[in-house]
Amino acid sequence: MKYGLFSGILWAIDTVVLGIALGMGLYAADLHASFVSACMHDIFAALILLVWMGVRGRLGDTIAALKTRNGQVIMLAALLGGPIGMSGYLAAIEHIGPGYTAAISAFYPAVGTLLAVLILKERMKLKQVGMLLLALCAIVCIGWSSTTAATIDNPVAGILGALLCVGGWGSEAVILAWGMNEEAVDNETALQIRETTSALAYVLVVMPLSGSLGSFSQVAFTPENGVVALAALAGVVSYLFYYKAIDVIGAARGMALNISYSAWAVCISALILHVIPSMLEIVCCIVIIVGTVLSASSDWRELLDSSRKNT
């Protein structure tokens, strides 16, 4: 469970730091800033993992894994979770605003849990599913509270983008869990394959199709990308914990813990950016953290006993 919680906390740091970068320099004035920052984020992540695996003498493991069916399956998961899911997310933000996008995209763990039950034969008790849905409702409330009618541009395109995000992110974890079910691909190797595949797809496909190549070339070597690199570092460590959680406790419970980042992001924004949360946000954050922890645990009595021993 700790791996999933750490993944959520670190992804919240990634989110907040990336948001800071988007408000700096050329990013702040660029219409394609979201696509370019997502591309740069995954490029930095791929480079960080290249160095990390190289220093540890494990690049050969990644090359060997790419030749296996499991490694190629993880490449598919990378496309679904990276360029496809993220592009849908960014398109939704553009057309219906961040609030509605957050509210809709929050349901990707529900889709992922359903797929994990149907495909991977994972099991979650009814009370766990109930806690997951409660946490998702709290995430929806946070997103909904930040929404205004003025943010809506093209509702059809926005909703389709958000649904693409839900499908991409929800299926990514399930496919990853299947891809890591053999010793040929561990969580670190899987992550390097994922980030490298995603970075290449952004550069070769997403940037040209979105008309962002010009912006990419202008922003690529600016100082604010140092902040993006910091976000990518937090993202890499987050993904390492996330993949470990999927490998250890399964896709459904791993996703449930990972979405706690919505609550942690509010807390980190308050600490770093001095953004004071509303009472509704505070209550929702508590519900999200408690709900995700309980949804990932099948034995609540054992969880309570363990927490008492640690206090």
- pLDDT (tens digit per residue) in 73-117: 999 999 998 889 888 887 887 777 766 777 777 788 888 888 888
What's the domain count of the chain?
1
Q: Is residue 307 part of a domain?
A: no
Q: Is residue 311 part of a domain?
A: no
User: DSSP per residue over the chain, as a string?
Assistant: -HHHHHHHHHHHHHHHHHHHHHTSHHHHH-TTHHHHHHHHHHHHHHHHHHHHHHHTT-HHHHHHHHTSHHHHHHHHHHHIIIIIHHHHHHHHHHHHHHHHHHHHHTTHHHHHHHHHHHHS-----HHHHHHHHHHHHHHHHHHHHT--GGG-S-HHHHHHHHHHHHHHHHHHHHHHHHHTSSTTS-HHHHHHHHHHHHHHHIIIIIHHHHT-HHHHHHHTTSTTHHHHHHHHHHHHHHHHHHHHHHHHH-HHHHHHHHTTHHHHHHHHHHHHT--PPPHHHHHHHHHHHHHHHHHT-S-HHHHHHHHHHT-
What band does 151 get if pLDDT is binned at 50, 70 and 90?
low
Q: Is residue 235 part of a domain?
A: yes
- Please check the confidence at residue 10 and state whether its pLDDT lies above 90: yes
Q: Is residue 286 part of a domain?
A: yes
Structure-model confidence comparison of residues 200 and 116, the more confident one: 200
What band does 278 get if pLDDT is binned at 50, 70 and 90?
confident
In terms of residue numbers, what domain contains 35? 2-300
Q: Is residue 305 part of a domain?
A: no
Q: Is residue 310 part of a domain?
A: no
Q: pTM for the full model?
A: 0.85
